[in-house]
Amino acid sequence: MRTKWLVAACAMLLCITDARPQLRLPPPTFSGNTDISHNNQGCALLEKGHWDAALAEFKLALELNPRLATAQANCGSACYNKGDYNKAIQCFTTALELDPKLAYAFNGRGYVLLEKGDWNGAQADFTHAMELEPKFAAAYNGRGHALLGKGDAAGALADFSRTLELSPNYTAACNGRGNAKRDQGDLKGALDDYNRAIQLNPKYAAAYANRGHILRDQGDLKGALDDYNRALELNPKFAPACNGRGSAKWAKGDMDGALADFNLALELDPNYAAACNNRGNARWAKGDMDGALADFDLAIKLSPNSSAAYNSRGNTRWAKGDAAGALADFNRALELDPKLAAACCNRGSIHSHNGDYESAIRDYSAAIGLNPKLVAAYNGRGSAYSHKGDSKNAIRDFDRAIELDPNLAAAYNGRGTAKWAKGDTAGALADFNRAIELDPKLAAAYNNRGSAYSNKGDYDRATLDYDRALALDPKHVSAYNGRATAYFNKGNIAKAQADVRSCQQLGGKVDADFLAKLGKASALEQTAKKQVSPKEQ
């Protein structure tokens, strides 16, 4: 008896929020010169958040003195805060041509490059700024974010810590250091830093969102939702908070709410790859495979090195029947992140589907090594062992899966097949019954229970279970095969033949001996019908 088994483990990956302070440059010393006066007036407006008015003053200063490097740099600062990053880079570069030792211009250009995702360029600029001004706290903060973007959490942690030595109340550095600690797995340390950032600035939306990520990962969904909501109260256009809140709603089972938040995150930031990936997962969960696939394609386009997006797209291709495409995506996910347990587990599913149970077991075992509590990996490995005829190891893995998730119907169904293979029909029936209690729509469990009943000679119950399996899954080959046997044993040759035809039309194989017996019984039945009694003549 073979069971239809499929594991689709979706990875939810959220980008850690890297909110940085508005970039402002300190005004130069006052003098009687008109160009300096305009520059200083621009700096005062910049401090108040009046970007356009500040830019106008800096331009007036440059009309009077085109070689005033500080005014050029301040133009870059105003453009940065307006979101005109290309113009900001142009202004900072011009300032550095005028004064190659202007540390603030290197620092400013570094922050612009951070916004554009140029981690190497940003790191170089911040390093230049620090070489010119060794106690430049903002430059250490910026380089910390660049290193974090490059995946160097240890280097980032050192730079954020140095920032806080130089400026203990630097809120963005507290938040950044929390991100670095979170990447290193130090969740307590991360929480301490986020709490400190909020203490320093109770209106700092990024710290609330990041603290929400930690609480969500720790299972405190109410606390996480409170933090995400607070972040959005402070900044209604903060896409990472929408994305995080969507993930918390997802974890609570509120798929519609999650989908709405992921949609909102993408309205606020159409290039937000993590939100695109998460929306794809939500659509996948709701059965919208085409919509999910479109989202994962876009997520990969936006972030070509996103292992989570490749893993998610692999799940979708697998669900749509594209095993080869799914395998390619899982392989790519593991190239990008060899420690992504979900991709190991899912690749194991493909190998198992292809009948390569040794490779499947290796992948499931690797997934368990990476995440000893990954239920799907135990369930999948149990199925692979079962197909190999290793009922002992199969039962052990299904036991572990049930221990981790007592409501996993598929694990009870799998354990039932392993018990049945060992001859424990009573134990198998008990497991199939439990699987059906937990998931009344699990066609495989009805099919397997039907087989158990059939082997006990209870063909009426067997037929009812096969009927139910086929009502749930009209293409369930094993159910047609099993019901044909039950009908044959009940003496209903015509129905047995009809089920055999259905099985074969779906690509299923029917035992040759059974076909021979069925053919012989059909011939005898036809012969009997042709015989006519003397009275009827």
- Predicted confidence at residue 30, as pLDDT, reads 44
- Predicted confidence at residue 520, as pLDDT, reads 87
- Predicted confidence at residue 4, as pLDDT, reads 26
Amino acid residing at 13: L
Report CA-CA distances (Å) from 3 to 48, 50, 260, 311.
Answer: 68, 67, 37, 25
| Token couple for 121 | 């360029």
Tell me how many helices (H) and strands (E) the chain has. 29, 0
Q: Does 3.40.1410.10 match the CATH number of domain 339-439?
A: no
Which CATH architecture is the domain 441-524 placed in? Alpha Horseshoe (1.25)
DSSP class of residue 29 equals: P
Same CATH topology for 339-439 and 441-524? yes
Q: Where are the alpha helices (DSSP H) in 133-272?
A: 137-149, 153-166, 171-183, 187-200, 205-217, 221-234, 239-252, 255-268
Neighbours of 117 (CB within 10 A): 12
pTM of the complete model: 0.75
Report the chain (537 residues): mean pLDDT per 10 consecutive residues.
28 34 46 75 87 90 90 91 93 94 94 93 96 95 94 96 96 95 94 96 95 93 97 96 95 94 96 94 92 96 93 94 95 96 95 95 97 96 96 97 96 96 94 96 94 92 94 93 92 90 91 87 76 50
- Predicted confidence at residue 522, as pLDDT, reads 79
| Token couple for 215 | 């609480």
Amino acid residing at 357: Y
Neighbours of 180 (CB within 10 A): 27
Half-sphere exposure of 105 (CA within 13 A, CB side): 22
Question: How many residues are recorded in the chain?
Answer: 537
- Predicted confidence at residue 33, as pLDDT, reads 60
Q: Where are the alpha helices (DSSP H) in 65-136?
A: 69-82, 85-98, 103-115, 119-132
Please provide the distance, in angstroms rounded to a whole number, between the alpha carbons at the two ends of the chain: 49
- Predicted confidence at residue 100, as pLDDT, reads 95
Domain residue spans in the chain?
339-439, 441-524
| Token couple for 7 | 């594991």
- Predicted confidence at residue 238, as pLDDT, reads 94
| Cα Rg of the chain (Å, integer) | 32
| Token couple for 528 | 């009997």
| Token couple for 168 | 């203990």
- Predicted confidence at residue 5, as pLDDT, reads 25
DSSP class of residue 536 equals: G
